[in-house]
Amino acid sequence: MDAISWQLLFEGAWATLWISGIAILFGVSIGLVIAFIRMMKIPVVDTILVLYISLARATPLVTLVLFLFLSLPAVGINLDKSIAAIVALTLNTSAFNAEIWRNAFTHFPKEQKEAAEAVGMQRWTYFRYIMLPQMWIESLPALVNEMSFLIKGSPAIAVIGVVDLTRVTNRISAVTYEPLSPILAAGLLYIVIIGVLLKLQNLAERKAKRLAR
């Protein structure tokens, strides 16, 4: 491949990164909020959230992307294709993250909560400084695994015209009539992206362990 093809691939990889990155940021945060609300066990709200999680996890990502981009204009909501992609990825990953966080809530040692109550610690202080850091450390592998799945599933956004890494690869293949080289190059870039993500996970875990000593 020539320099122009590589430049296009890097631009596509950047689009994949920033769209997925924003979706991951919102997805992790929204998932935490959903899990926290579910732990309150408010009957009607919990039923709605369970339905949302079930639907979001069961719906293929490409279907969710198409639905948001094509169906919402019918009710007067017109989303830019990049925004539609971010919203679709966020809805998908927040549902999975909610279950990861809920599992962390469920298995958190009750003895620590009882000890915090015994010394009169406020609930928010306990959650912020004791519970959340430990939950983050324990959930990090599962959260990063979900992040990698989201990035690998992000080619679904190409169906609405987002010029991500996969769409760029298809364009180069169509122009050069040589599909193998751009496909291999795109695969290499995806491997690098996921590899960096896993490396950051290892660094975060090591730092967390040092701080916990």
- The number of angstroms, rounded, from the C-alpha of 143 to the middle of its chain's C-alpha atoms is 8
Contact 71, 2 (CB under 8 A): no
77/191: higher pLDDT: 191
Q: How many other C-beta atoms can be found within 10 angstroms of the C-beta atom of residue 129? A: 11
Confidence of residue 181 (pLDDT cuts 50, 70, 90): very high
Q: Using CA of residue 28, residue 66, residue 152, residue 171, what is the dihedral sign?
A: negative
| C-alpha separations of 108 from 33, 104, 105, 125, 136 in Å | 17, 6, 5, 16, 11
Contact 178, 7 (CB under 8 A): no
Contact 20, 151 (CB under 8 A): yes
Q: What single letter denotes the amino acid at residue 63? A: T
Q: Using CA of residue 48, residue 50, residue 52, residue 54, what is the dihedral sign?
A: negative
pLDDT digits (tens, 9 = 90+) for 27-40: 999 999 999 999 88
CATH code of the domain made up of 11-212:
1.10.3720.10
pLDDT digits (tens, 9 = 90+) for 125-140: 888 888 888 888 889 8
**Across 139-164, average pLDDT:** 93
Contact 165, 12 (CB under 8 A): yes
Question: CA neighbours within 13 Å on the CB side: how many for 21?
Answer: 8
pLDDT at 209 over 80: no
Rounded distance between C-alpha atoms, residue 191 and residue 198, angstroms: 10
First to last CA, the chain: 50
Q: How many other C-beta atoms can be found within 10 angstroms of the C-beta atom of residue 10? A: 14
Contact 121, 57 (CB under 8 A): no
pLDDT at 150 over 80: yes
